[in-house]
Structure 1
Amino acid sequence: MGTEDIYSGLRASAGAIEEELIALRRKLHSYPELSFEEERTSDAVAEWLNGLGLDAVRRGVGGHGIVAELAGSRPGPRIALRADMDALPIREETGLPYASQVPGVMHACGHDAHTAMLCGAARLLADRRDRLAGSVRFLFQSAEEINAGAKAMIEQGALEGVDEIYGLHNLPTLSAGQAGTRFGALMGSVDQFEVTVTGRGGHGALPEQCVDPVVAASAIVMALQTAVSRELSPFSPAVVTVGSVHGGASYNVIPERVELAGTVRTFSPDVQEQMPDRLARLAGRIAEAYRCTAELHYIRHVPVLLNHDDQVRRVEEAIDAVLGRDNRIEAPPVLAGEDFSVYLGRVPGCFFWLGSGPETGAEQAYGLHHPRYTLNEGCLAKGAALLAAIAIRNEFPDANLHSDNKKRSRS
């Protein structure tokens, strides 16, 4: 059987199980679970996997995560495929018949779809294990939304022996049936900061007897923007956002302290490394100018998501074969984060976008994390076939379906 026959067979088989994938995704969508609470989701995944004859299915990895193994018929690399399973604390407003039945919790990022796609890929590959060189490890991960699941999975051995890793994320602003790849940095780092500004409280009518942390905190919010606009090159994109300000409980009382919280996003590991010192200096010295003190608590979540060139080419070849070259685009970088970056810091791999939006472009597509976010379920079978294709083409180590890709450099 030739390479093209393999891909044609994957497309056809994925189409044959499309209704099952839709039913699984809707089941997960109706009962979403927050990070590290994905027990019911894990049960559904385990039920699907247990009928496939896999070599091992290990539960409870990194929370409610599942690690499953499928050995091929010949020696070769171990390829990991990952899907995330958790939902968000958002009240769903789609009005769909299978909308969330859990108040205040919604699959507004499409992790239910990612889980269904990887379940589909597991079945496609299990049916073709005699055509598979090496092995495939399926990672169903908890707690991506809080940037904790990948670290927890790794700590419990999910990457041991893995040679390469691949993952995808649906994108509702890209039509279903299309996919986007990028060499190098695709998504930003994610850090969190908290600043406590302390002064001396008192009566709002007697400010001279107080040291006002509200005024100092306001100046710090403005000054933090200069950490990007005046201290970084415009060719080193970064964002500092203050998303939370808390201080005081009455209109006529100057509080003792004000608490700020926000996020830092960058595309450069070097810039990410330098940001804590920048923020501490700015906050501390601005606070001092107002006779206050400022204490910075800086929390590193995940690094920049840096794809590896050889693995990007591998994904591009699979996309071209499964979806068609005309349906592959170069993805623009985004400063949103993904804890898949933690895996990529340990083994080579690639993370890419799979379109999940309307195919005609006539309908409005709500973005990720929106209470009216919806997903074009036509992407489910395509995603399953694509993930399977990335792994199964290990049988053709010398295949060079698109030699022009080899000439591309990191962009």
Structure 2
Amino acid sequence: MTTKAISDLLPSAKAIERELIDLRRKFHRNPELSFEEAETAAAVAELLSGLGLEVRTGIGGHGVVADLTGDRPGPRIALRADMDALPIQEETDLPYASEKPGKMHACGHDAHTAILYGAAKLLSERKDQLAGSVRFIFQSAEEINAGAKAMIEQGVLEGVDEIFGLHNLPTLSAGKAGTRYGALMGSVDKFELTITGQGGHGAIPDQCIDPVVAASAIILSLQSAVSREISPFDPVVVTVGSIHGGASYNVIPERVELSGTVRTFSKSVQETMPSRLLRLISETAEAYRCKAELRYTQHVPVLVNHDDQVRHAEDAIDLILSSENRIEANPTLAGEDFSVYLQHVPGCFFWLGSGPENGAEQAYGLHHPKFSINEDCLAVGASLLAAISITRLGA
């Protein structure tokens, strides 16, 4: 496949940019949380049907899947976008801000959905350039790390040879992209912990067993799991994000509830963390005469890109944006359930710049209530996904 064959992709994407912006803003006004994306899915299915694609709905929750078959036989690649929003109150004051209190597209999944639709539109007009087929996966429930598993269980990867996906990055200027070989994003585990003591009057602690003090000691002891038990060359984060206990200033509660997350870059380290936390928590609780109940859930594995697919994505990025606008992405312990797809088929996940040009304005990060994107990234993202498909399937 020659450079000339995809030279018109970005101009073609720019020609439908207004449509993509309007679509993204429509989704932004009407965010839906994980496994609640019924209206978004219905809109996506209608748009894809209008392109003449074979569309299936209700896959893995509200997931939508559409297939585009080229003019000649060949492999099948998949392109994936996520659709769900977050339980965050928006603070952007944009004219198209969320109309649903307490719900916001604070991670840019509205943009991802518009981008993948744009790629589908570009590719549906270029079937004659495809020797094979493209599967468009619009996924629900990425934010709770459940959508990919649900879609895979319902066969979304059947017949798929490779998969590609992207995520917007507001700290990278629009018009740029970032790739990385190997591990790009961390594993995601969740733990919930109940510390039980014996409640009573705050003025008579000797007649109580204080779970608050035990919980405090446990939080500190958990950090030793990282600092003293794991090699400094194996990045790990243990974060307690929620503590609930007691209802009055002068009452020692019966129990304290904690929850948190564990992130790693190593499968072997991820597998050791449940027993390591259980030991530290149980023995520390016992030292304070309390009982501890740990509930540990492994959500998604480390996101590890495959070398061949990274090289291919980089070639497509260079053709669309030029190599000067492609960076080597830094690893992050933030997680993504795209990692689950990569356990089944080879693929590549990369960053799409969505921030202000040259850092001219403040860019709020993902999941921030003031998060927004530079909408110039929409046409760029659509053209990149289309370019990956055409160069991979072109004859």
* Structure-2-length-normalised TM-score: 0.98
Report what 1:18 is aligned to. Answer: 17
Distance 2:72 2:242 in 1: 55
Report what 2:122 is aligned to. Answer: 124
Report what 1:191 is aligned to. Answer: 189
What amino acid does structure 1 have at the position aligned with 2:37? E
The offset of 1:353, in angstroms, is 0.1
The secondary structure found in structure 1 opposite 2:352 is strand
The secondary structure found in structure 2 opposite 1:360 is helix
Report what 1:64 is aligned to. Answer: 62
- Determine whether 1:101 maps to 2:125: no
Deviation string, structure 1 residues 348-394 (Cα, Å, up to 9, x no partner): 00100000001132111111111111111101011000001111112
CA contact (8 A) 2:20 2:379 kept: yes
The offset of 1:46, in angstroms, is 1.3
CA contact (8 A) 1:61 1:156 kept: yes
What amino acid does structure 1 have at the position aligned with 2:114? A
The secondary structure found in structure 1 opposite 2:41 is helix
Distance 1:256 1:29 in 2: 43
Distance 1:209 1:372 in 2: 48
The offset of 1:242, in angstroms, is 0.5
CA contact (8 A) 2:130 2:394 kept: no
More deviation, 133-142/203-212: 203-212
What amino acid does structure 2 have at the position aligned with 1:151? K
Report what 2:27 is aligned to. Answer: 28
CA contact (8 A) 1:322 1:386 kept: yes
Report what 1:388 is aligned to. Answer: 386
The secondary structure found in structure 1 opposite 2:295 is strand
The secondary structure found in structure 1 opposite 2:327 is strand
Report what 1:352 is aligned to. Answer: 350
- Determine whether 1:160 maps to 2:158: yes
Report what 2:362 is aligned to. Answer: 364
The secondary structure found in structure 1 opposite 2:261 is strand
Where does structure 2 lack aligned partners over 5 or more consecutive residues?
none
Distance 2:33 2:355 in 1: 24
What is the alpha-carbon root mean square deviation over aligned residues? 1.0
The offset of 1:396, in angstroms, is 4.4
More deviation, 107-116/287-296: 287-296
Distance 2:39 2:133 in 1: 28
The secondary structure found in structure 2 opposite 1:225 is helix
What amino acid does structure 2 have at the position aligned with 1:12? P
The offset of 1:191, in angstroms, is 0.5
Report what 2:198 is aligned to. Answer: 200
Deviation string, structure 1 residues 1-36 (Cα, Å, up to 9, x no partner): x61112212122111111111111111111111111
Distance 1:275 1:22 in 2: 43
Report what 2:245 is aligned to. Answer: 247
Match of 2:232 among 215, 220, 234: 234
What amino acid does structure 1 have at the position aligned with 2:388? I
Distance 1:374 1:257 in 2: 40
Distance 1:204 1:376 in 2: 53
What amino acid does structure 2 have at the position aligned with 1:53? G
CA contact (8 A) 1:76 1:394 kept: no
The secondary structure found in structure 2 opposite 1:291 is coil
CA contact (8 A) 2:236 2:265 kept: yes
CA contact (8 A) 1:134 1:394 kept: no
Report what 1:53 is aligned to. Answer: 52
What amino acid does structure 1 have at the position aligned with 2:282? G
Match of 2:143 among 142, 145, 148: 145
CA contact (8 A) 1:172 1:355 kept: yes
Distance 2:390 2:278 in 1: 49
Report what 1:39 is aligned to. Answer: 38
Distance 2:19 2:213 in 1: 58
Deviation string, structure 1 residues 248-282 (Cα, Å, up to 9, x no partner): 11222211111111100000011100000010000
The offset of 1:395, in angstroms, is 3.9
What amino acid does structure 2 have at the position aligned with 1:371? P
Deviation string, structure 1 residues 67-101 (Cα, Å, up to 9, x no partner): 10011111211100000000111111111111111
What amino acid does structure 1 have at the position aligned with 2:7? S
Report what 2:336 is aligned to. Answer: 338
CA contact (8 A) 2:129 2:394 kept: no
What amino acid does structure 1 have at the position aligned with 2:275? D
What amino acid does structure 1 have at the position aligned with 2:13? A
Distance 2:212 2:392 in 1: 60
The secondary structure found in structure 2 opposite 1:306 is strand
Distance 1:265 1:180 in 2: 22
The secondary structure found in structure 1 opposite 2:237 is strand
Identity %: 75
Distance 2:376 2:271 in 1: 41
The offset of 1:135, in angstroms, is 0.5
